[in-house]
């Protein structure tokens, strides 16, 4: 029996190995941080509040689903509020539905 996810048996039950393999049109991505300077503000913002400066964000594709035509390493553009984070087995994964990808960055083809 072959499986994409190898599970290890332990006294506590099953533990997931180091990679999450997405299904159902989900993609595992990694947000690409902007190299902006820290803006110091005189307004106090509570911890845990995330201030988005742009509606869109750039992410790197870590692991596509098995039916995807996208490939790992691609730089994808999506709306920032559609990016989901999940804490699974001590790791943080960022998930995005493939339908929410609006484009990708690549080298321009000059004719």
Q: How many alpha carbons fall within 13 Å on the CB side of residue 97?
A: 6
3-class SS of residue 73: coil
pTM (predicted TM-score)? 0.69
pLDDT value for 46: 82
Q: Along the 111 residues of the chain, how does pLDDT read in single tens digits?
A: 334 444 444 434 445 467 899 999 999 999 998 665 555 557 777 887 776 677 899 999 999 999 999 999 999 999 999 999 999 988 999 999 999 999 999 876 664
**Domain coordinates of the chain in residue numbers?**
20-34+53-102
pLDDT value for 38: 55
CB-CB contact of 79 with 38 (8 Å): no
What does CATH list as the number for 20-34+53-102? 2.30.33.40
């Amino acid at each position: 029996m072959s499986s994409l996810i190898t599970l290890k048996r332990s006294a506590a039950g099953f533990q997931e190995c180091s990679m999450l393999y997405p299904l159902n049109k989900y993609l595992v991505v990694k947000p690409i941080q902007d190299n902006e300077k820290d803006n110091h503000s005189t307004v106090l913002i509570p911890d845990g509040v995330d201030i988005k400066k742009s509606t869109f964000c750039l992410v790197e594709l870590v692991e596509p689903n098995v039916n995807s035509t996208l490939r790992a390493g691609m730089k994808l553009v999506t709306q920032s509020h559609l990016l989901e984070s999940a804490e699974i087995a001590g790791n943080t994964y960022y998930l995005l539905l493939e339908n929410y990808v609006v484009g990708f960055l690549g080298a321009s083809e000059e004719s």
